[in-house]
A and B are shown apart, each in its own frame.
Chain A
């Protein structure tokens, strides 16, 4: 059952992506990419990654789509017809894809408990999380405690991206002066 759901949702993702490649209305493209994210989140639930699914649903289908729509409002909604015939990109992509599929034959089979990736440090975390931190969610424990340095770095990246957006578009020269008084919106 799980496998069947997995197969169907992944196939739907592929169909969505084909739609995104061919559609030139950017609004539709952005909505499809939101759907794509939501489908990815569903795949994550099927594959036991509930924390990740949570994040992907909130970020990919929510915030990210809103930001894209905001950008569309500030720029343009229709993509221009491509000027060149896309033969060269297609060849590049086909060769890369073929190489990757060739490489996939050496990968551990899906769901293999004996795979190297599942035998290295993961059992240590699963065994010791309760003893060391006393919290049941292993993902949170690894994120905040065992690999706290990583997460600190990620938070600093988000911080930097936020500062970057403020510098590019924000009213940073205005600084922290209170915004001009405005009349109450029609709420």
Chain B
């Protein structure tokens, strides 16, 4: 893709902002529109754009397969273990109130962690799927 100068320059300019926007959507999701699902997809879209213009190999140098696979499982694990934490602290599964001494703050913290888990899994799955499609070759 070395001939498409405009594409490469614009992509380099855009990718940091897409990733930043993804993080904003992730961590501002409690107050405005947004949350883990959207943030995960936007974050993945940034890397997909980069991989389409500069090649999957250079994108995978930043995010190797192993990290993405850890992310796929890790997000679900974060989610499930936050639920378990509530259970251990004497409440129902996925009740976040006991995470802090004030019930409201516990809920807020729980929602934050859950969204983090959702975002991790969604972003990792989307990137893995794209990389898998892009690198698959008929033997």
Contact = CB atoms under 8 A, between A and B. Distances in A.
Interface residues of B, number: 61
Contacts of B80: 152
Contacts of A163: 72
A176 B66 contact: yes
Nearest to A55: B38
B44 A63 contact: yes
B2 interface: yes
Given A156-B76, A187-B54, A135 B31 contact: yes
Secondary structure dominating the interface of B: helix
B30 A135 contact: yes
B41 A58 contact: yes
A70 B130 contact: yes
Nearest to A129: B107
A76 B129 CA distance: 20
Interface string B33-63: 1110110011011001000101101101000
Interface stretch (A6-14, A97-105, A143-151): A143-151
Interface string A117-138: 0000000000000011111110
Contacts of B34: 51, 54, 137, 140
Contacts of B128: 162, 165-166, 170
B117 interface: yes
A179 B64 contact: yes
Enumerate the 9 nearest inter-chain pairs by beta-carbon distance, A residue then B residue, closest first. A162-B125, A148-B94, A135-B30, A186-B2, A70-B133, A50-B33, A133-B107, A144-B111, A58-B41
Contacts of B73: 159
Interface residues of A, number: 50
A116 interface: no
B129 A165 contact: yes
A158 B122 contact: yes
A137 B29 contact: yes
A185 B134 contact: no
A15 B68 CA distance: 40
Contacts of A96: none
Contact of A165 (B29, B60, B83, B132): B132
A71 interface: yes
A20 interface: no
A164 to B, nearest CB: 10
B118 A151 contact: yes
Interface string B66-108: 1001001101100110010000000000101000000111011
